[in-house]
Amino acid sequence: MAMSDSDRADVWRIFMQDRKCPGAITKPQLRTAVNAADDWVDIQLATGTATTYVSYMAANAATFWSAATTNQKSEVLMYCIERRFGRI
């Protein structure tokens, strides 16, 4: 089950507080990326299929994908997964 809007907002806020968002990424781009990452996880859990990084990339908006570093792309997904399992 996807995170609530409040949980998604918490992930967005925590990501920014941890200073993972310097540079060209805007706050709306980051929020869209958090939503996309959580939706992607939800789909993967529901279908039970192994997917590739390409499907995660496709789930994100091009504006975030082109502005974010490799670490930022991975960390958005990590933060969403950590929130789902109560780690943040």
Residue 59, domain extent: 5-84
Q: What is the DSSP letter of 2?
A: P
Give residue 48's pLDDT. 59
Q: Are 46 and 38 in contact (CB under 8 A)?
A: no
| Domains: count for the chain | 1
Rounded-to-integer distance, Cα 67 and Cα 86, Å: 28
Rounded-to-integer distance, Cα 11 and Cα 58, Å: 21
pLDDT exceeds 60 at position 66? yes
Q: Are 11 and 83 in contact (CB under 8 A)?
A: yes
Q: Are 42 and 51 in contact (CB under 8 A)?
A: no
Give residue 65's pLDDT. 80
Model pLDDT for residues 7-44, shown as the tens digit of each residue = 999 999 988 888 766 677 888 998 999 999 888 888 77
Predicted structure pTM score: 0.67
AA letter at 25: I
